[in-house]
Amino acid sequence: MVRQMGAPTVVEYFPWAYSEPRPGRYDWEHADLVVDHAVRQGLRVVARLDYVPQWARPAGTTTRYLDEARFPDFARFVGAFARHFAGRVDALIIWNEPNLAFEWGGRPPDPAAYTRLLAQAYAAAKAANPDIQVLAAGLAPTLARPGEEAAMSDLAFLEAMYSAGAGSHFDGLALHAYGWSFPADDPPDPNIVNFRRVELLREIMVRHGDGGKPAPITEAGWNDHPRWTKAVRPTARIQYTLAALDRVATWDWCPFMAVWAFRFPWPSRTFQDNWALLDEDFTPRPLYAALSAYSATGNAAQAFGVAADPSRLTLPRP
C-alpha cells in the first residue's frame, strides 16, 4: 500500500532489542522480512535504530536508557546492522528525539552525551559499510525553557551538539516537522512549533558549515483528533500535508518528507491514533487517497482538487 500510494521511501523502526536479544547474537529474521519486502516493492529504506535490550541496561530502567559504558555495545550493533543490510538499507537514524527525557531513559537530555553516542555509532557504521548514510536523530520540536528536565529545545540541543563536535559525526540530520494547528506556510519562529520550524534547524546547520548535508524530514504531519488542542479539522489535515509536500519540493536540502505514521497495529484510543494514514484494519483514511493523488499529479492544488471539490473550500488560508 505504501508503493501504491506512490511513496518512494519508507522510514522504518528496527528496535535493537529485537535484533540482538542476547549480546553478540543477532537475529535478523524479522528485519530481513521487512527490508526485503520493501526493496522488492522498489522502496528505499531508512532505518531508525534505538530501543535498548534488557541485557544492556540496569534493572528498572526503560528501553530508552543507555549508560555511557554501553555506548560501544550500541555502536557494535549499528555496525552489524550496516554490514548486514549493505545495499538494502540506504540510511540509518541514530536514536530518536534525544532532546526529550522520555527518549533519553528518563534522564535530562544531554546533547554532549548524545554526540558521543552518535560519534561511536557513526564510526562503527562507516567501518562496516562506507556507503551507508548516517543521520543524526530527529529532534522533538519543543518550546522547553532552559533548565527543564523533561525536554530541551530542539534548537538549543542542535547548537549544543555542534558545540560538542557533532558536525563530523553525521552525514545528514533527520528532521521532525509537526504543524500542530498551523498551516504549512506559517513562518518559522523560535517561539512556535509549526511545520517550517525545521528551517531554523537548517539555519543552524548552515551556520556550522553543514549546508552541504541533506536534512530529510523523517516525521511530519498534522493530527485531526477531535479532542487534542493541537489538532486541526480533517480537511485542514489533508490540505496542510499536501501544501507541506509542495514546499519541501522547493527545498534542495530536503530529499524527502515522510508522513508520520502509516499505520498503527492497534488503536491507543488517544489523539495518537489520528496521525495514521490507515486504520488498524488497513482501511485507508482520506489522507491516504489525497497523498496517492499527490504522487500522481505532483502538485498539492491538483491533488486537493482530486480529493475534494476545490470550488467549495472555505478554509481561511489555502
Partner 1 sequence: MQSSATRLGWLFAAWLLALTVLAGLASPRTAAVFIPTGPIPPLRVGMDPSFLPFEFYPGPDLPPLGYDVDLAHAIGPLIGREVVIVPMAYDGLADGLRTGQLDLVISAFPYDPRLTQDLVFTGAYFNAGPVRVVRAGQTAPDPPQRLAVELGTTSDVAARRLKPTPATVLRLASPEAVIAAVVSGEADMALLDMVTALQAGPTVEVVGKPVEDEFYVIATRKDLTVLFTQVNIALETLRRDGVLDQLTFKWMGRAAP
Which residues form the interface with partner 1 (CB under 8 A)? 224, 226-227, 229, 233-235, 237-238, 266-271, 283, 285-287, 307-309, 312-315
Residues 269 and 283 sit within 8 Å (Cβ to Cβ) = no
Nearer to partner 1, 66 or 300 (CB): 300
Q: How far is the CB of 207 from partner 1 (least distance, A)?
A: 39
Q: How far is the CB of 42 from partner 1 (least distance, A)?
A: 27
Q: How far is the CB of 191 from partner 1 (least distance, A)?
A: 25
CA dist., res. 90 & res. 32, Å (int)? 14
Nearer to partner 1, 167 or 234 (CB): 234
Q: How far is the CB of 216 from partner 1 (least distance, A)?
A: 26
Bridge partners for 94 per DSSP: 49, 136
CA dist., res. 165 & res. 151, Å (int)? 21
Nearer to partner 1, 54 or 270 (CB): 270
Task: Give the number of other Cβ atoms within 10 Å of residue 278's Cβ.
Answer: 18
Nearer to partner 1, 92 or 276 (CB): 276
Q: How far is the CB of 234 from partner 1 (least distance, A)?
A: 3
Q: Where are the beta strands (DSSP E) in 120-194?
A: 133-136, 172-173, 175-178
How many C-alpha atoms does 51 have within 13 Å on its Cβ side? 13
- The phi and psi torsions of 14 (rounded to 5 degrees) equal -120, 95
Q: How far is the CB of 291 from partner 1 (least distance, A)?
A: 12
Nearer to partner 1, 85 or 288 (CB): 288
Nearer to partner 1, 218 or 274 (CB): 274
Which residues, 6+ apart, have CB-to-CB distance to 60 below 8 Å? none
Which residues, 6+ apart, have CB-to-CB distance to 256 below 8 Å? 8, 9, 216, 217, 248
Among candidate residues 264, 315, 256, the one with its CA nearest the CA of residue 291: 256
Residue whose grid cell is 552541504: 212
Q: How far is the CB of 298 from partner 1 (least distance, A)?
A: 20
Nearer to partner 1, 40 or 227 (CB): 227
Q: What grid cell was written down for 268?
A: 491507543
